[in-house]
Chains A and B, each alone.
Chain A
């Protein structure tokens, strides 16, 4: 660490540091490139803090184990990449309907299937939103640097705890594997949010009765509140129901508790947007190329700017709509065949043209490619 408190850290390592700072004391995972360092470092660091790491038999089990640990009161995380993320979907839905806080890290690589294990991609953007079946809430955050990976891992835990929902940290191989400087902050300076616990006596506890904020207080197993948890649609007592009315109310509540609070966690970066006519929208690793492209385009007197969503789900509709009111053209640059651009188009409400810059060959989109797509001249 240098005298300013910076050290060279890898993105995946920063994720673990953030998780530990947020209070993670349980990690379950299965090795998969390019996320494996997160499991390795967790296995080294957790027992030193009295926490536990377990390498499960697969990602289905990893996801299940972190939900179990969270129900017993321990902040828990798993980390994976595409194929493992697919396997986790079933139990991500379980965590959503049973409202169990947990964090799932997906360091994206090329897909579909085994795809390009060591190369970056952003093809899981829609899966992060709609991967599990049924209507459900989704919070996903996309850091674009090592420093942000630390900070947004902390935020992922805080949001999971606050809203009692699984939160996805949607990284990519670029951010996960690159090393750059990171400031080690004093843990006491970091805001940590813990789940709301019941204030009532066990006999008065109605496990899934929400407070006014739509979120029910959560007791841990073993604390004397003997309640029932099921992935079946349930009423406020937590027991299964076939009631149409109760079912509708439950699903709407678990979605609303997240979507109606979007202002609480709308994280984004605006770069040279004030007078921008050309706006690039990019997230994760690609946003770094986009920022370089904006600087280069500005040198060519092209009024370019960058809007970078960090909260990628739920969609930052309000902010994107505002951008579309001032822009002539929006270019959505992403390492997939145009998943987020359709969402941007929806939020832009035809206020301006939305164009796509896509790449799925396992390489990061370059600033040059963005500049060319926009019609500028690329000079080194």
Chain B
């Protein structure tokens, strides 16, 4: 499908234009989600997109599925209820970095631990954008933010390692520049019967970029192009990974899924 076909079929066109700034990576990342859904030919009526609060969390409002814009950090807990109530639904959660790993960090690790069949996609722009540029749990050490006026002394999370350590059974990372890879990872994440976690590195030229003199959106995209390297290449030659950001599929290890395990109990009790 071409761009306008995708837009007409999957977007709520009357809700556009979106609220994101020019140069923001969220639009591209949202499109990778939509294209993955299209590729898998999912029934729109059976797709639920859940989000929390923040810039990323506005994405579902533009998409023509069952969409739920929840409270800050709690998207996965809402999604857990939806999935348990109707396991036929494809539940996809879109969160931001602060949303998923600060206020919602506890929900993230426990949803991952249960291995419930939810696909979680984090739009990581290293900053709280909606509130005007405060540091988040993924803001690099030393960077500036409106609440880190003298440099950030919090150490950042590696979200993929966090999710994998907590029990996610499919984990990967791509960027707004590596849109095709991002789409592929989301497709595989949706297909994984279990908790999938895909980190999409986004960019916030308005707050993070400007504050840290990272240049315009073009420069920030070029950074992704230059500094990201696929894990497969580094696995073959570790030297290539020095001072680089790893992208690609990190972990793919299917395990018994939560609701399927519960269904075994129900079937046993109901004879």
Contact = CB atoms under 8 A, between A and B. Distances in A.
Interface of A: 26, 28, 47-48, 50, 52, 54, 56-58, 60-74, 76, 90-91, 94, 220-224, 226-232, 239-240
Interface in B100-120: 106-107, 110
A232 B58 CA distance: 11
B210 to A, nearest CB: 26
A61 B86 contact: no
17 contacts: A47-B269, A48-B269, A64-B77, A65-B77, A65-B81, A68-B77, A68-B81, A68-B83, A72-B82, A72-B86, A74-B86, A90-B71, A221-B66, A222-B66, A227-B67, A228-B12, A228-B69
Contacts of A64: 70-71, 74, 77-78, 80-81, 107
B66 A240 contact: no
B44 interface: yes
Interface string B80-97: 111111101100000000
Contacts of B262: 47, 52
Given A64-B78, A230-B61, A221 B71 contact: no
Contacts of B61: 228, 230, 239-240
Contact of B81 (A72, A227, A228): A72
Contacts of A67: 78, 81
Contacts of A47: 262, 265-266, 269
B236 interface: no
A26 B85 contact: yes
B85 A74 contact: yes
B270 interface: yes
Most chain B CB atoms below 10 A, which of A63, A66, A226, A231: A226
A26 B81 contact: yes
A90 B72 CA distance: 10
A91 B74 contact: yes
A221 B48 contact: yes
B148 interface: no
Nearest to B72: A90
B121 to A, nearest CB: 18
Contact of A68 (B67, B68, B110): B68
Contacts of A224: 45
Interface in B30-50: 44-46, 48, 50
Nearest to B106: A57
B79 interface: yes
B82 A69 contact: yes
Given A60-B74, A228-B61, A28 B81 contact: yes
Task: Give chain B's interface secondary structure class.
Answer: helix
Interface of B: 12, 15, 44-46, 48, 50, 60-61, 64-71, 74, 77-86, 88-89, 106-107, 110, 262, 265-266, 269-270
B110 A71 contact: no
Given A57-B110, A68-B68, A221 B269 contact: no
B173 to A, nearest CB: 25
A94 B84 contact: no
Given A47-B262, A221-B89, A68 B82 contact: yes
A91 B84 contact: no
Contacts of A230: 61, 68-69
A227 to B, nearest CB: 7
B96 to A, nearest CB: 16
A73 B83 CA distance: 11
Contacts of B85: 26, 52, 68-74, 76
A48 B270 contact: yes
Nearest to A56: B77
Given A56-B77, A90-B71, A221-B48, A228 B82 contact: no
Most chain B CB atoms below 10 A, which of A47, A57, A62, A94: A57
Given A72-B89, A222-B46, A239-B15, A54 B74 contact: no
A205 to B, nearest CB: 12
Given A52-B84, A61-B77, A91-B74, A226 B89 contact: no
A69 B77 contact: no
Given A65-B84, A67-B81, A240-B61, A227 B269 contact: no
A188 B83 CA distance: 30
A70 B88 CA distance: 15
Contact of B71 (A69, A76, A231): A231
